[in-house]
């Protein structure tokens, strides 16, 4: 069955209310992923910001590949936890060209941005994956 999304139109109040606690803050896993998404809109201009958001900036090259993956995807507001580690969270992105919408079914086709908090405090982008959530062992393997 295709993904069901209730179109809510261009309602800024509904959109603002849906933003998770912490908003666009590095102390918020969603905020870190959202800032990453915004930074990838122009990876050349935002290179310093992207380097600051990445746990390992060298792993991302010039960020153009990551930018191409997320370019036409929309961020979801639900932050998924890692069942084995509170320092790992996942923020999903899906294809959605509407304004504000509410997902009404299970999401199977997504790209996840994995964010980590290795030292407490702020969150960093660890990686991106298509259709899966990396395990604790995968994240901390290296």
Q: Which two tokens stand for residue 65?
A: 């590949």
pTM of the predicted structure, to 2 decimals: 0.86
37 — pLDDT class (breaks 50, 70, 90): very high
Sign of the four-CA dihedral 137, 24, 19, 69:
negative
Q: Kind of pairing, strands 100-103 and 85-95?
A: unpaired
Pick 47 or 104 by higher pLDDT.
47
Distance CA 113, CA 52 (A): 16
Q: What is the pLDDT of residue 21?
A: 72
* 87 alpha carbon, distance to own chain's centre: 15
Domains and CATH numbers, the chain: 5-139 (3.10.450)
């Amino acid at each position: 069955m295709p993904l069901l999304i209730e179109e809510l139109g261009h309602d800024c109040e509904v959109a603002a209310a849906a933003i998770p606690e912490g908003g666009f803050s590095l102390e918020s896993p969603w905020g870190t992923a959202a800032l990453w998404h915004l930074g990838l809109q122009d990876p050349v201009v935002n290179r310093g910001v992207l380097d600051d958001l990445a746990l390992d900036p060298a792993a991302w090259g010039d960020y153009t590949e990551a930018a191409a993956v997320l370019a036409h995807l929309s961020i979801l507001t639900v932050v998924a936890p890692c069942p084995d580690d509170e320092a790992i969270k996942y923020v999903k992105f899906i294809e959605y060209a509407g304004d504000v919408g509410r997902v009404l079914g299970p999401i199977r086709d997504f790209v996840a941005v994995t964010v980590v908090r290795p030292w407490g405090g702020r969150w960093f982008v660890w990686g991106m994956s298509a259709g899966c959530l990396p395990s604790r062992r995968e994240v901390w393997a290296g």
